[in-house]
Structure 1
Amino acid sequence: MCLVLLFLPFLAPSDDEEKGKARNTLEMMQQDVPASPKKDMQPKECFLMKTKEKKEEATKAKRRRKKKITDILAKSEPKPGVPEDLQKLIAEQLSIKRSVIELEELKLPDSCFLPANDLSHSLSSYLKQICPKWSKLRKNHKEKKSLVMLIICSSALRALELIRSMTAFKGDCKVLKLFAKHIKIQEQVKLLEKSVVHLGVGTPGRIKALIQQDVLNLNSLKYLVFDWNWRDQKLRRLMDIPEIRKEVLELLEMRLISLCKADSLKLGIF
């Protein structure tokens, strides 16, 4: 391009064709000059980086907006459990492997249910309401390897909390911890065999194991209370935990439903 510019002054003024060719050559050379690769690449790189950043920001925003089940339950008003909830649960869970006739036999009679807790009671006040003659029942109970009242909860920690909260109700009766954490089943067997126990609080798995070993007799059992409405850290109730729900249903099938139908056992939903 520089050479063309240097030789232009030496062209003859009358030679118009040569001047035109020189100008055309100069224009073509200017058009064919390639753009700087750095200038071409920079906008493309910036565009791709901005697009990627926008996508990442959109993904993070979606993750932030996603609500968890615990968040929904935390904002919803708690509804107290009622006998219909237990009846519905039994029908739904057992209908998979049971015929219509078998399901009818497993249905609990309405007469076996005691008034449910409306969330206004402490455990002691609720137990006093459903069992006003506790003092008399406690004094008359003399049979070993049996209980008068059984409270089913979801964990060992919850069982200890319930035992501490029923001081006003239990009086001087003997209370047995019926859970697996830090307590061997042999220890519970010895306590049931050697002493008279009035009230038991524990998890359905350990209670079921003691019944299966013929260590815990249900003949004297008058009251069965479910710790239904309490929620754990994940806001799950007793029957919301799959493994606990399964064990409760198996426990009911073992003999408790037949005791309810015989009108010798009453159910409470706390």
Structure 2
Amino acid sequence: MAKKMVHEDSKRSHKKRSAKATHPFSKIKKFKKNKPEKLENEEEEEEALSTQHKLFKDKDKAMSTVKAVHKPAKHQVAAADKGNVELGSSREQLDWFISAFQAATRTKLSSLELQEIPENSMLELSNTMDHNIHNLMKHVKGIFGPSWEEVLCEGSLVKGNAEPGCPAILIISSSAVRCVEILRGLKTLTTKCHATKLFAKHIKIEEQVSILKERVNIAGGTPSRIKKLIEIDALKLSRLSVLMLDMHKDAKGLTLFNVPQVSNEFWELYKAYFHQQVMLSKLQICLY
């Protein structure tokens, strides 16, 4: 009988231990006992994270300093945004223009070709005057120097001096309206031989062909019509020495270099008829 009771007590004790082991709160004491150690580990972890955060912060600060030191010049930033080039030195303008040319035409110039581009390809205008229509006539006189009157103001064709329909300076704008504004600013410069309008708006191509049979000193127009007149051999380029590109921004902030369609037409025109002349030092570009 005594053995049976001892056996039952042992059995009940075993059940209690099993229940205690499986009870959901059976490990509370153990958790509480280890809690200080865990908290200590958390504090160490927080301290480590704080140190890591400080290191990243210092790294970001250092990188910001490096970026500030190597911040691109204005003309370099503008190079990525066609049409917003700052009118800086002729070298800066030429770098921007060649970069824009390669990007727009998907042309990759070799290092040798880049070296062969003449340093004086880009005309650097006087910085003492603003680049606006009011001062355009003065800038044009400065481009041609003391002989500007001889080059631009002769009214009739002189054998050996001026081929019909061949301007000395060609101005390219993004729109007919802008072109009219520019040529109006040069009206008094060529009293004997007025500047010729080469755009499609309100002017038939036959009228322009007729005008180009006479002496032309200054011509201005849009890329599409200029290209067409060159293709039919009405507009000639043998006397052309200055290609002036209008950098004026329209109401939307766009220029000749980023107006949709017009920009593509300009680069097609430049690549087909002007780039080789620039490479041969026969033609200079002027951003105005």
Give the TM bin, normalised by the shorter chain: 0.5 to 0.7
CA contact (8 A) 1:108 1:260 kept: yes
Counterpart position of 2:105 = 94
Q: Which runs of 5+ in 2 are unaligned?
A: 1-83
RMSD over aligned Cα atoms:
2.7
Q: Give the counterpart letter for 1:235 in structure 2.
A: G
Q: 1:79 to 1:264 in 2, by over 3 A?
A: closer
Q: Which runs of 5+ in 1 are unaligned?
A: 1-76
Output the TM-score relative to the length of structure 2: 0.59
Return the match for 2:278 from 257, 260, 269: 260
Note the alpha carbon deviations across 1:20-69, whole angstroms, 9 max, x for none. xxxxxxxxxxxxxxxxxxxxxxxxxxxxxxxxxxxxxxxxxxxxxxxxxx
Q: Once the 2 structures are TM-superposed, how far is the Cα of residue 190 of structure 1 from its aligned partner?
A: 1.2
Q: Once the 2 structures are TM-superposed, how far is the Cα of residue 109 of structure 1 from its aligned partner?
A: 2.9
CA distance in structure 1 between the partners assigned to 2:112 and 2:149 by the alignment: 37
CA distance in structure 1 between the partners assigned to 2:171 and 2:109 by the alignment: 30
Q: Once the 2 structures are TM-superposed, how far is the Cα of residue 247 of structure 1 from its aligned partner?
A: 1.3
CA contact (8 A) 1:117 1:269 kept: no
CA distance in structure 2 between the partners assigned to 1:264 and 1:204 by the alignment: 20
CA distance in structure 2 between the partners assigned to 1:185 and 1:117 by the alignment: 36
Q: Once the 2 structures are TM-superposed, how far is the Cα of residue 143 of structure 1 from its aligned partner?
A: 1.5
Return the match for 2:130 from 102, 120, 123: 120
Counterpart position of 2:119 = 110
Note the alpha carbon deviations across 1:197-226, whole angstroms, 9 max, x for none. 111011011000111111111111111101
Residue 240, structure 1, aligned to residue 255, structure 2:
no
CA distance in structure 2 between the partners assigned to 1:169 and 1:233 by the alignment: 28
Counterpart position of 2:149 = 135
Note the alpha carbon deviations across 1:121-168, whole angstroms, 9 max, x for none. 321122122222221213364311211110001111111101111235
CA distance in structure 2 between the partners assigned to 1:107 and 1:231 by the alignment: 32
SS at match of 2:209: helix
Output the TM-score relative to the length of structure 1: 0.63
Q: Give the counterpart letter for 1:110 in structure 2.
A: E
Name the % identity. Answer: 30
CA distance in structure 1 between the partners assigned to 2:192 and 2:269 by the alignment: 28
**Of the two structures, which has the highest relative contact order with CA contacts closer than 8 Å and spacing of 6 or more?**
1
